[in-house]
Amino acid sequence: MSAAVSSIREPLIIGNKNYHQITEDLIGPTEKAPNRMWIIAFTLSVMTFGYGIFSLCWTFYFGIGAWNANRTIGWAYDITNFVWWIGIGHAGTLISAILLLFRQRWRTGVNRAAEAMTIFAVMCAGLFPATHTGRPWFDFFMFPYPNTRGPLWVNFNSPLLWDLFAISTYFTVSLLFWYTGLVPDLATVRDRAKGVRKKLYAFVSMGWTGKAKHWQRHEYLSLILAGISTPLVLSVHTIVSFDFATSVIPGWHTTIFPPYFVAGAIFSGFAMVQTLMIITRKCFGLEGYITTNHIESMNKVILVTGTMVGSAYLIELFVAWYSGYIYEQFAFYNRVLGPYYWSYIGMMGCNLLAPQVFWSKKIRRNIWWTFFISIFVNIGMWFERFVIIATTLARDFLPSSWSYYWPSWVEIGIYVGTFGLFFTLYLVFARVAPVVAVAEVKAILKQYGDQYIGPDAQPHHDHHHAHEETIVEDEDLAGQKH
């Protein structure tokens, strides 16, 4: 057994659960017929996604001209949405990887859903640059492979190509990590299922039986995947920020971009996790597994990263002024007081000011406040990307080419469509697989169940006694070996 847990720690599993109850609670939702709310939500998502497909087809038929992106503002709505979705995709791997390395046990309640969210968000994100190329059926030109065009290779010095590598790697590693974690839980579903369902789950659970050696290797694999995912997740948004930072556009070529983008990505990712988890726990009755403690922990992360992002905004302004470089100064003057001043206000208000309410413990532990603020953060982070991309480009070096940008219905349709895609995939996932990591929750039950720690803890003399006995025997065995 693992080390004893400090008694001041608060329980993470509430409701005096035992192992079987955990299985019932977490696997249960996949075994019932979907309720009416799920069917309505699913229908809406599929319809929204359909509208997105329609807008995409419109784009392919009429060309990129159907968008309002213009010569001055060439990166507009699509790249804003791309960076926004990629940012959202950062919380999943952060929760599963970095929090695993830091031994933060509260990750077990939310990691599975957050990882799924990551994968779906990256899929939505990838759609934008793929479409932005104009002829997505030639997108495979971006991958370096021996070809008959020279062979003409891609530019390995370009941050855009680094981005391609970073995002494909991120997607693949997140998928492997997520699925490998899911296999034992799918086996649990299999062993409870009957008939065709059993066959289907037997196929996807890969013949998992829970052998001691397999668990040992599984833990090794998870740990090392976490170890390599940690720098990976930081590298992905760093490289996304390079898309801007290595350019020569005032307002973009700043060295603060990598850390500021990474903090922003974690910030928006956690906000999206909050939004989704608050709905999920309510719909599936998972209040005993995604507790107020989980929500509070995530709100703390939101507060920290929000304040980091906020100070980056202020430092940017200071450095622009202090640099004495008039183009940089103009770029930032334009951000705050230019034609897109409203999006700057939205960004500052939602990202810097709104999360500050989380200094209050009461608000951090309040579901409604959390939900409300998480929506604010999602909007604020979208504004941030819009401010960086559209505002900066709108006023370039030549006043004659200054422009204003507003998305066309086609662009809005694609963006709305990605929400449809995201929620369609999430809703399907929530039906077919447990949204909380069953095995991982069971593994922390004896340390974090409310019958073991916290105000409702019951004295478990037998257990503690047995626990000590094992340790003694462990040492005995170790002694025999030497």
Partner 1 sequence: MKGQHKEVLFGLYNDEVVLMNAISKAKKQHLDIMDVYSPFPIHGLDSVLDLEESRLHVVGFIFGTIGMLTALIGMSWIFGGSLMFEGDWPTIFGGKPYWSLPAFIPIVFEMTVLFTAIGMTVVFYIICGLGFGVDNPVLDDRITDDKFCLAFQTNEMDAGSVDNLKGFFQATGAEEVHAKTI
Kindly tell me which of 130 and 183 has the beta carbon lying closer to partner 1: 183
Kindly tell me which of 190 and 335 has the beta carbon lying closer to partner 1: 190
Kindly tell me which of 82 and 267 has the beta carbon lying closer to partner 1: 82
- Say how far apart CA 94 and CA 289 lie, in whole Å: 19
Closest CA to 170 of 77, 265, 260: 265
Fill in the DSSP letter of residue 349: I
Q: How far is the CB of 89 from partner 1 (least distance, A)?
A: 16
455 touches 448 (CB < 8 A): no
Q: Which of 86, 117, 225, 295 binds partner 1 (CB under 8 A)?
A: 225
Distances, alpha carbon 272 to alpha carbons 288, 349, 405, 422, in Å: 21, 18, 27, 12
The residue type at 262: V
Helix (H, G, I), strand (E, B) or coil at 61: helix
Distances, alpha carbon 160 to alpha carbons 157, 238, 441, 446, in Å: 9, 12, 40, 48
Q: Which of 44, 70, 123, 169 binds partner 1 (CB under 8 A)?
A: 169
99 touches 112 (CB < 8 A): no
Residues between 438 and 477 with contacts to partner 1, criterion CB under 8 A = 439-440, 442-443, 463, 466-467, 469-470, 473-474, 476-477
Residues between 123 and 162 with contacts to partner 1, criterion CB under 8 A = 144, 150-153, 155-159, 161-162
Interaction mask 233-272, partner 1, x per CB under 8 A: --x---x--x------------------------------
Q: Segment near partner 1 (CB under 8 A), from 90-98, 211-219, 377-385, 400-408?
A: 211-219
H/E element, 138: none
Q: How far is the CB of 348 from partner 1 (least distance, A)?
A: 31
Q: How many residues of this chain interact with partner 1, rule: CB under 8 A?
A: 77
Q: Which of 54, 165, 371, 402 binds partner 1 (CB under 8 A)?
A: 165
Question: Can you tell me which residue has the tokens 């039950």?
Answer: 445
Q: Is residue 7 involved in binding partner 1 (CB under 8 A)?
A: no
- Say how far apart CA 267 and CA 233 lie, in whole Å: 13
Kindly tell me which of 84 and 162 has the beta carbon lying closer to partner 1: 162
Q: Which of 37, 39, 47, 176 binds partner 1 (CB under 8 A)?
A: 176
Q: Which of 4, 206, 326, 345 binds partner 1 (CB under 8 A)?
A: 206
Structure tokens at 299: 């709100």
Interaction mask 411-430, partner 1, x per CB under 8 A: --------------------
Q: Which of 50, 65, 134, 210 binds partner 1 (CB under 8 A)?
A: 210
- Say how far apart CA 474 and CA 392 lie, in whole Å: 64
Q: How far is the CB of 12 from partner 1 (least distance, A)?
A: 15
Please, where are the H alpha helices in 338-408? 341-347, 361-364, 367-386, 392-394
Cα separation of the two ends of the chain? 22
**Cβ density class 27-49: b for 16+ within 10 Å, e for less:** bebbeeeeeeebeebbeebeebb
Q: Which of 7, 209, 400, 458 binds partner 1 (CB under 8 A)?
A: 209
Q: Is residue 221 involved in binding partner 1 (CB under 8 A)?
A: yes
Q: Which of 104, 172, 247, 311 binds partner 1 (CB under 8 A)?
A: 172
